[in-house]
Amino acid sequence: MEKTFLMVKPDGVKRGLIGEIISRFENKGYTLNRLEMVTPSVEVAEAHYAEHKEKPFFGELVEFLTSGPVVAMEWEGEDIVAVSRLMIGKTKPLDAQPGTIRGDFASTMSQNVIHGSDSVDSAERELALWFAGVASHVS
């Protein structure tokens, strides 16, 4: 079964949206396999956003992600990578449809409540990055 990495970002945690976000994916029928609340290190944040390293907003991205606790999650279900991206909605507020998480809860490009892997390969890489430390002490 396909797996993906979903993360409630610091703004989502501060705004009390953890339960709302988890509910949406549970209601959809997906399975939550792992969850960890953690304030990311600069190293993890930079590795997570490595593909954006050359972008002008990279520094802002890393600063934001390390600004407070996030909820890192592994979810599982049929076609979950693509479907979760639909449920999350577009990055640009003008394009994020009402009914999607960003359409309902985000009004800026940089503080947009949730991250979801954009491909099966990204999901594998991100799950390995975020849960590397956890896997070692979970049987």
Catalytically active residues, by annotation: 115
In degrees, rounded to 5, the angle at the alpha carbon of residue 79 between the alpha carbons of residues 70 and 85 is: 45
Q: Determine if 119 is a binding residue for ligand CMP (CB under 6 A).
A: no
Site for ligand CMP contains 91 (CB under 6 A): yes
From the CB of 82, what's the least distance to ligand CMP, in Å?
14
Stretch that binds ligand CMP, among 26-34, 39-47, 107-115, 122-130 (CB under 6 A): 107-115
Which residue in 115, 123, 127, 131 binds ligand CMP (CB under 6 A)? 115
Should residue 110 be labelled a site residue for ligand CMP when binding is judged by CB under 6 A? yes
- Do the Cβ atoms of 93 and 108 come closer than 8 Å? yes
Least Cβ distance, residue 56 to ligand CMP (angstroms): 8
Rounded distance between C-alpha atoms, residue 105 and residue 118, angstroms = 20
Q: How many CA atoms lie within 13 A of 36 on its CB side?
A: 14
- The answer to whether residues 67 and 10 touch, using CB atoms and an 8 Å cutoff, is yes
